[in-house]
Every structure is written in structure tokens, then in C-alpha cells.
Amino acid sequence: MEINFTHHQSAHCENGVVSNLMKHNGFDISEPMVFGIGSGLLYCYLPFLKVNHAPAITYRAMPGAIFKRFAKRVGVKIQHEKFKNPAKAKARLDENLENNNPVGLQVGVYNLVYFPDEYRFHFNAHNLVVYGKEGDNYLISDPVMETVTTLTDKELEKVRFAKGALAPKGHIYYPKAFPEKLDLEKAIVKGIKHTCKDMLAPVPIVGVKGIKMVARLIRKWPKKHGVRKANHYLGQIVRMQEEIGTGGGGFRYIFAAFLQESSKILKNEKLAELSEEMTVIGDLWRDFALDASRIYRNRKAKLDAYNDVASQLETIAEKERTFFKALRKAV
């Protein structure tokens, strides 16, 4: 059995699943629109969490938050369910497929067999759509992949019941009720206001202040931990910023695309200008990644090099502070 579902590749899995499910239900919503309305853009340094034995920095909102906010702001009702029992989780999935309803699933990446080995690590907040079943094979639309794929019964159960931080517990979700017309204008303004609030938050580890804090840490790392560890940490920052999913520049380009689209919907010229500014800031993030990579490429880096990339981050932080203040006024 196969549901007539169109797969569109996206940069990030969560936006992609939402955008694809909305399109399936007849609402043409782009990935940047989902990301912007769901206030996906964030910067947060998580001092108590280690990922791959290095400090964790996130460039986006908590997994699940984008979908939740998006749905609330445009007035779509979502059905969510988590399970203790894998058999029940499978039954609920099959039931939905029987009813011609493609569903979103939260899964762990480590056992996702169609990913290249190098990308398989213990990250449990990946999202994909199941749109049918043929014998023992589930038909999978993973938004970050170019084409659709399949997973066997066993393989799907394993990723749905991955363990560790943010364990998916078979999490299944799908939109169940839609308004007649989506009220995008109001939703966009809400999304933008929320992002500005987050990025300008008076909390030392969040937003612009968080970027500055990480810049200060980078200056200290080589002396405190030695060059090898400092390079490992720096490499991790670049991966979080640029690895599959961010669309480049730590989500700045997706956000700029959202502002451009919004300027047409809201007929607000200022947003188009700000979109261009965000693109320039995105380019600065790319430059930072490039220069950071020059440090960890040759393992003996000079101390100056760390100070240089730290200064780059501080410049970005200042530009973003001005940017988000202007954006707040523009809507």
C-alpha cells in the first residue's frame, strides 16, 4: 500500500517534515516559512551537555519546538503520541497508513541504515515521514535525502526506540485539523518577534550573549585544554553550524529566505532589506567556519589564530545585536 505522497528535499529534517506534510494536505508552505514562523533560529551554548565529548552549541530551537509553534501560530491541530510498547507503536503506525494518512516520526540517527556511516551518531531528534508499506518494508521520505527510501520492520522499530538523551519513544505525529485559510500574516509577525526576543535575551548563554561567551571560551581553550582538545572543540562548533541540516551559515540563509518571502506577504520593504543584511551575516559565519577549519587542519596552530576566530565571532555578535533590534522594530 502506498499513499500518493510527494517527497521534497529540505535542508533540515523538522522543517522538511512539516513542510512536506502541509503540502500533502494542500497548503503550499515552504521550508523557510516553517522555520521562521516556528522561530527556529536560536543560538545557545549548553555548558552542562557534552556531545561526542565536546561542548554542545545549538543553532536552533529545541527539537519539536519548531513544529509546535508553527502549528499553534497558523492554527493547525497536531496529533501526538508516544509509546512504551513497540508493538503498540507499530500498530498505530499501520493503522494510519491504512487510513491513507502519512505520518511524521521522531527517530534516532545511529541505526539509520541509509545514512553514510560517518554521519551515524547517537542523535535522537531526527524526523522523517512514513507514507506506505510494501510487505515488510516501510516507505520512507526522509526530508534531508534527495530521494525516498525504505526501512524494514525491524530497522524502523530500532530507530523509533533508540535510547539516550531525547529518546523518541516511538513518537508519532500528524496534522489532524486545518483552518479554512492559514493566517500567515499574524503568524509571521509572532515568529519574528519570538526570534528577536530569543536572540536578544539577557541570558549569558543564549543568543547574541551566547555567541560572545563562546568567543571568550575559544580564547581560553588552547591554554586550558591543550591544542588537540581545543581543535576537537572547534571542529565540533563548525559541524553543528554547517553539518547537514542548517542550509549553511548556521541557519542564517534559511532565515534570510524566510524574511524575503515574508516581505512579499506582509508587503514590507524593510524585511527585504533585512534579508539582504542577514545574507551578509550568514557569509560572515561561513568565513568563521573557513578560518576555524584552517586552525584544525594543521594541528600546530598559533595562539593568535584562536584569538582571530574569537574576534570574528565577536564582530558577528555585534552585527546580530544591531540586526535583531532593527528587525524587532520592522514588524
Q: Which of 276, 286, 211 is nearest to 241 (CA)?
A: 286
Among 167, 201, 326, 331, binds another protein (CB under 8 A): 167
Q: What stretches of 38-82 show up as alpha helix (H) in DSSP?
A: 65-74
How many other C-beta atoms lie within 10 A of the C-beta of residue 34?
30
Which listed range, 21-29, 80-88, 187-195, 255-263, lies at the site for another protein (CB under 8 A)?
A: 255-263
Q: Is 244 in the site for another protein (CB under 8 A)?
A: yes
Strands (E), 89-220: 103-107, 126-134, 137-141, 149-152, 172-177
Which residues are registered as beta bridge partners of 50?
Answer: 55
Q: Is 239 in the site for another protein (CB under 8 A)?
A: yes
Site string for another protein, 119-158 (x = CB under 8 A): xxxx---------------------xxx------------
The residue among 71 and 271 lying less far from another protein, judged by its C-beta, is 271
Which residues are registered as beta bridge partners of 199?
Answer: none
Q: Is 58 in the site for another protein (CB under 8 A)?
A: no
SS3 203: coil
Q: Which three cell numbers stand for residue 171?
A: 513518537
SS3 218: helix
Q: Is 249 in the site for another protein (CB under 8 A)?
A: yes
Site string for another protein, 290-309 (x = CB under 8 A): x-xx--xx------------
Q: Which of 11, 36, 63 is nearest to 190 (CA)?
A: 36
Q: Is 262 in the site for another protein (CB under 8 A)?
A: no
> Contact residues for another protein (CB under 8 A)?
9-11, 32, 50, 52-53, 110, 114-116, 118-122, 144-146, 163-165, 167, 231-232, 235-236, 238-239, 242-244, 247-249, 253-254, 256-257, 260-261, 275-276, 279, 282-283, 286, 289-290, 292-293, 296-297
